[in-house]
Amino acid sequence: MNAETIDHATLAKLAEAGLVRSARAVGQDGGWGITVKYGVTERALATQRSGQVRIFRKLETLVEYLKSIGIARFDVDAVHYDPRAGIAIKRPDRAVAMKDAHAAAAYTKWLQAEVQEAIDDTSPTIAHGEAMRQVRAALKRV
């Protein structure tokens, strides 16, 4: 978080304490940002991980966010809002994680099917000791 932004935790505490003087939804290319005034300071809401200004793609989402932290009244500045200039956020790390998750789910499904097939198998069973004797005999032949 840089000196001109505020994070969610700080904003929530300020709102709870009634110290937020005003809030504004500011239209940008592809979404909406939030600026808040408290005391004589004005800050933009930042994302928790990167510290960059948080952009809400939908105004409805921004409204729900502000209401959830106790800010029900705010101004809207749509001068620079352009929904057609949507910003494409590329997250290659998330793409890899999703592929890994799908691979893990496919493996789990396969493994569960294999286990169920073994449970459902009605062929005669062999005692462990007998199975080991057969394996040792086969190894000696090799």
Nearest residue to 59 via CA among 40, 77, 39, 37: 77
pTM across the whole model: 0.59
pLDDT, tens digit (0-9, with 9 covering 90-100), for 76-118 = 999 998 877 765 666 677 788 889 999 999 999 999 999 999 9
103 with 57, same domain: the answer is: no
Per the structure, the complete domain to which residue 36 belongs is given by 5-85
23 with 60, same domain: the answer is: yes
* Domain end call among 68, 85, 102: 85
Q: Is the pLDDT of residue 33 over 80?
A: yes
pLDDT, tens digit (0-9, with 9 covering 90-100), for 118-136 = 999 998 889 999 999 999 9
Q: What angle do CA 36, 65, 31 make, to 5 degrees?
A: 75
Cα separation, 64 vs 112, in Å, equals 41
Q: Do residues 63 and 55 make contact, with C-beta atoms less than 8 angstroms apart? A: no
The residue written with tokens 């062929």 in the block is 123
78 with 120, same domain: the answer is: no
81 with 101, same domain: the answer is: no
76 with 20, same domain: the answer is: yes
Q: Do residues 55 and 87 make contact, with C-beta atoms less than 8 angstroms apart? A: yes
**Domain tally, the chain:** 2
